[in-house]
């Protein structure tokens, strides 16, 4: 690859990886081209330039990967490994990710557009912590024993207990906004539980998953335990989702595709976890410091260029503070410098792709045409790359598309409210229910509001805080099931009840 414009920012490891002419699929411990020899390219969103040519898996490759995962689960060394050995391998992988943190952050930055510094401090750091957290669960998988009372066998005595068993072969389909981190949210609990995995990274950002694949080999996981099939949704994702020998699908992405995956899964009774879109409210009560609330709300929407499933994209401010808070956010937005991922002065990067930039700008136009007033930003930043100015809209009716639909970019709609009851109703007037934040120091109001909000996470005086032990997932159309925490481990386990008449 021609890396002349970014070469000087890259560490040796990242440069060596990006220099390769082709990136292959990982199937049964081997790096192989796609059966049809097809490839696709991935681009640097800051410039639009091609930075990698990647094998495009099709149904035949997915089938080979699933068979390899099946064999590793049913009969390979992995199936006989003691939990403590699985734990050791996952901890070893965490050490390797930590050792390669800089290269992973740089590759994530050029593939996704995000800042390399933030990728290291957030994406890679959380990946390491999460792997270590999940490694611990491998040795803490427990069933119950039980005194049976079988009513029609009064004379019999039973020993009864439950076993938690790995669900089997997992298909993990992940998006492009936190490529390495979300792949790990699937891999961590799957491997701790004893499952094997076929991972399908997003076609926009396949590189860190492939780098991770090499670290997985170096850590010593047996062949077939983790397979990686790069490709697009219809070509590689769909055959994985409908494959009859996959036992569980774990998906993060759009609600639209999540529904397709749910339908395909039910056909085979494949278990599924779906972490989908959001339109998360940020609720500012009038007792708090307007500057603190404004800085928090700006960060809630502009972090990661707004490409965050739980981004705070609907802002509700109590009437008397509305102008002050929205004015502050407008100032923050107008003052933000946009730049590539290695530009230390940049506060925001490009969106992931031309398609996403067009989609986000399309929503800003829809907002305008439906009567919204744009008070900051309002479209793309001229020049190369997929940059969109941080945008704030006001005077928009609650039923309009920019309030109801996920935009997945740096676009905030702000609305004033009068009472707590009113804001609770508005917060819930959405098909989504992933997250919400409340900004206030009035404990009793906060505690009365928390149970009213139909969302998987409620943050108070913060937004998008995540940590390995806290479950993350959605109510309503934001999904089914939870990533992270013990809840995630449970989703990769079946329960077997055992009755022994003694
Ligand atoms: P998407 O849902 O199409 O992509 C996510 C993953 O699903 C990718 O790996 C993709 O290849 C795969 N996929 C696509 N179609 C598939 C199919 N038919 N069967 C199996 N797998 C399939 O998301 P996309 O198109 O990249 O983004 C569109 C919108 O989705 C965004 O604007 C945003 O609103 C939302 N989104 C939400 C995310 C979240 O974290 N909740 C992440 C990415 C996108
Ligand atoms: Mg890319």
Query: In tens digits, what is the pLDDT along the chain, a chain of 502 residues?
Result: 678 899 999 999 999 999 999 999 999 999 999 999 999 999 999 999 999 999 999 999 999 999 999 999 999 999 999 999 999 999 999 999 999 999 999 999 999 999 999 999 999 999 999 999 999 999 999 999 999 998 898 888 999 999 999 999 999 999 999 999 999 999 999 999 999 999 999 999 999 999 999 999 999 999 999 999 999 999 999 999 999 999 999 999 999 999 999 999 999 999 999 999 999 999 999 999 999 999 999 999 999 999 999 999 999 999 999 999 999 999 999 999 999 999 999 999 999 999 999 999 999 999 999 999 999 999 999 999 999 999 999 999 999 999 999 999 999 999 999 999 999 999 999 999 999 999 999 999 999 999 999 999 999 999 999 999 999 999 999 999 999 999 999 999 999 999 999 9
In this structure, what DSSP letter does residue 176 have? S
- Ligand in closest contact with the CA of 203: 1
Q: 114, 257, 357: which to mutate for ligand 1, most atoms within 8 A of CB?
A: 257
Check residue 52 and give its pLDDT. 97
Phi-psi region of 168 (alpha: psi -120 to 50; beta: other; left: phi over 0): left
H/E run at residue 210: helix 207-219
Which pLDDT does position 150 carry in this prediction? 87
Nearest residue (by CA) to ligand 1, atom 9, is 202
Three-class SS string for 60-76?
Answer: HHHHHHHHHHHHHHHCC
What would the two tokens of residue 327 be? 């004015």
* 64 vs 188: CA distance, rounded Å: 23
Question: Which amino acid residue places its CA nearest to atom 24 of ligand 1?
Answer: 254
Report domain 281-471's class. alpha beta
User: Whose Cα sits closest to atom 32 in ligand 1?
Assistant: 408
CA dist 200 and 223 (Å) reads 17
Distance between Cα 135 and ligand 2 center (Å): 30
Under 8 Å between Cβ of 60 and 84: no
Q: Would you state the pLDDT for residue 1? A: 66
Strand segments (E) across 319-456: 373-376, 391-394, 411-417, 432-433, 435-439
And the tokens for 45?
């969103």
The Å distance, Cα 145 to ligand 1 centre, comes to 42
Cα 284 from Cα 268, distance rounded (Å) = 45
Ligand 1 lining (C-beta closer than 6 Å): 173-177, 200, 202-203, 232-234, 237-238, 241, 252-254, 257, 260-261, 276-277, 309, 356, 359, 406, 408
CA 157 to ligand 1 centroid distance, Å: 53
- Which residue among the candidates 106, 108, 288, 309 is catalytic per the annotation? 309
- Find the 102 Cα to ligand 2 centroid distance in Å: 18
**Read out DSSP for 454-483?**
-SSEEEES-SS---TTS-B--EETTEES-B
Tell me which residue has its CA closest to atom 14 in ligand 1. Answer: 233
What is the residue whose two structure tokens read 């923050």? Answer: 332
Cα→Cα distances 159→142, 153, 154, 316, 323, Å: 16, 13, 14, 57, 68
By alpha-carbon position, which residue is closest to atom 13 of ligand 1? 233
Domains 3-276+479-498 and 281-471 fall in the same CATH topology:
no
| Check whether domain 3-276+479-498 has CATH 3.40.605.10, yes or no | yes
Angle at 360 between CA 18 and CA 203, to 5 degrees: 30
Q: How far apart are CA 39 and CA 53, in angstroms?
A: 6
The ligand whose atoms approach the alpha carbon of 181 most closely is 1
Q: Which of 106, 203, 275, 328 is catalytic?
A: 275
Q: Quick check: is 309 catalytic?
A: yes
CA of 250 relative to ligand 2 center, distance in Å: 22
Q: Catalytic site residue 361?
A: no
Q: In a 10 Å sphere around its CB, with 0-12 CB exposed, 13-18 middle and 19+ buried, how is residue 407 labelled?
A: buried
Angstrom distance (rounded) from CA 441 to CA 447:
11
**Dist. CA 247 → ligand 2 center (Å):** 30
Q: Which residue, judged by its Cα, is nearest atom 31 of ligand 1?
A: 408
| CA–CA separation, 358 and 356 (whole Å) | 5
| Cα–Cα distance for residue pair 192/137, rounded to 1 Å | 6
125-146 b/e (C-beta count within 10 Å ≥ 16 → b): bbbbbbbbbbbebbeebeeeee
- Domain extents in the chain: 3-276+479-498, 281-471
Predicted TM-score (pTM) of this structure: 0.98
pLDDT of residue 154: 82
């Amino acid at each position: 690859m021609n890396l002349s414009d970014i070469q000087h920012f890259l560490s040796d490891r990242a440069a060596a990886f990006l220099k390769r002419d082709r990136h292959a699929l990982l199937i049964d411990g081997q790096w192989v081209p796609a059966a049809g020899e097809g490839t696709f390219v991935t681009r640097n969103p800051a410039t639009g330039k091609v930075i990698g040519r990647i094998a495009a898996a099709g149904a035949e490759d997915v089938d080979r990967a699933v068979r390899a995962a099946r064999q590793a689960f049913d009969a390979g060394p992995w199936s006989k490994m003691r939990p403590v050995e699985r734990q050791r391998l996952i901890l070893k992988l965490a050490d390797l990710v930590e050792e390669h943190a800089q290269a992973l952050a740089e590759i994530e930055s050029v593939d996704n557009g995000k800042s390399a510094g933030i990728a290291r401090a957030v994406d890679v750091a959380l990946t390491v912590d999460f792997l270590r957290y999940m490694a611990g669960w491998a040795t803490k998988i427990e069933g119950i024993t039980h005194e049976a009372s079988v009513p029609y066998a009064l004379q019999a005595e039973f020993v009864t207990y439950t076993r938690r068993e790995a669900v089997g072969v997992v298909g993990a389909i992940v998006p492009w906004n936190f490529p390495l981190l979300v792949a790990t949210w699937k891999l961590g609990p799957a491997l701790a539980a004893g499952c094997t995995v076929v991972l399908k990274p997003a076609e926009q950002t396949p590189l860190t998953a492939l780098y991770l694949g090499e670290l997985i080999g170096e850590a010593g996981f047996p062949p077939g335990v983790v397979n990686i099939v790069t490709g697009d949704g219809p070509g590689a994702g769909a055959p994985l989702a409908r494959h009859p020998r996959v036992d569980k699908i774990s998906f993060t992405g759009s609600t639209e595709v999540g529904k397709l995956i749910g339908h395909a899964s039910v056909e085979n009774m494949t278990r599924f976890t779906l972490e989908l879109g959001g339109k998360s409210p940020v609720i500012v009560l009038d007792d708090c410091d307007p500057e603190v609330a404004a800085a928090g709300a700006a960060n809630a929407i502009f972090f990661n260029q707004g490409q965050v499933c739980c981004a705070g994209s609907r802002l509700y401010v109590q009437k008397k503070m509305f102008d002050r808070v929205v004015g502050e956010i407008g100032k923050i937005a107008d003052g933000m410098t946009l730049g590539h991922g290695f530009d230390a002065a940049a506060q925001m990067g490009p969106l992931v792709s031309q398609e996403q930039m067009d989609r986000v700008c399309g929503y800003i136009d829809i907002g305008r045409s439906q009567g919204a007033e744009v008070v900051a930003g309002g479209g793309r930043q001229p020049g190369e790359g997929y940059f969109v100015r941080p945008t704030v809209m006001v005077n928009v009716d609650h039923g309009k598309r920019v309030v109801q639909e996920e935009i997945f970019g740096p676009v905030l709609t702000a609305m004033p409210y009068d009472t707590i009851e009113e804001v609770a109703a508005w917060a819930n007037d959405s098909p989504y229910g992933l997250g919400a934040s409340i900004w206030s120091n009035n404990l009793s109001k906060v505690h009365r509001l928390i149970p009213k909000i139909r969302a998987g996470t409620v943050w108070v005086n913060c937004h998008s805080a995540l940590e390995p032990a806290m479950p993350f997932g959605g109510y309503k159309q934001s999904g089914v099931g939870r990533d992270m925490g013990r809840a995630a481990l449970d989703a990769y386990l079946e329960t077997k009840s055992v009755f022994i008449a003694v």
